Amino acid sequence: MPFANQYVKFIESEFTAVKNRLKTRNFYKIVSYEYVDGTKKTYSGPKTTLIFLIGITPDKKLKCIKISEVRPDKFFAWFKKVIKPSITCEQIKDFYLRQKFEKIIVEDTKVGNGIFSKLKTDAVYNQNPETFRTYTLDGIKQIKTIYLKENFLKNELLQMKCYDPMDLNKDGVVTEEEKRIYHQKYGTEKEDKFRL
């Protein structure tokens, strides 16, 4: 059973990717693909092909988990294991801003052997239909980068307590007084840096 539609609520944004610039340890949506026998397919709706790119081999094969074949709770239970354990709220925010999602995940080679070894021992790998797939770079005709919702990643998946920098008392509510104090404090510091 395809689970693509169940992932929609976790996705913040998607945008067209350049297939020769794909980054490992990122999420993608394969929109259209040409198989080696010449068959071309376009995927949408419940048949959407969502992948987590583990690695790219020297002969340009993409090693992936086809997450649209995995229940979201099952996939995210595995995915949580490959996120850097020391990641902070500020780092996540920075990586999102710079579109460096792969920096949230544990380091690995371009081929992705380290993450693949973590996958092989998990139930996500051993299910029917198989979730581990390889796609040829040449076969990809259209692909999009997908970003998970930042708040889902921080608050729900990692259960982090992340606060707005202006939330000075860390209660989850930014008051006008807190904004004034924050701007006064940090606005003054910025001015001081530029004084001769």
Identify whether the C-beta of residue 41 lies closer than 8 Å to the C-beta of residue 32. yes
Residue 65 pairs with which residues in a beta bridge?
A: 52, 132
Paired sense of beta strands 132-136 and 61-66, if any: antiparallel
**Cα-to-chain-centroid distance, residue 194:** 38
What pTM was computed for the model? 0.82
Tell me which residue has tokens 């979201």.
Answer: 72
**Cα-to-chain-centroid distance, residue 192:** 39
Predicted pLDDT of residue 163: 67
Q: Note down pLDDT in tens along the chain; length 196 residues.
A: 589 999 999 999 999 999 999 999 999 999 999 998 999 999 998 899 999 999 999 999 999 999 999 999 999 999 999 999 999 988 998 999 899 999 999 999 999 999 999 999 999 998 888 999 999 999 999 999 999 999 899 989 998 877 666 777 776 677 888 788 878 887 754 444 433 3
The domain ranges of the chain are 4-162, 164-196
Predicted pLDDT of residue 172: 65
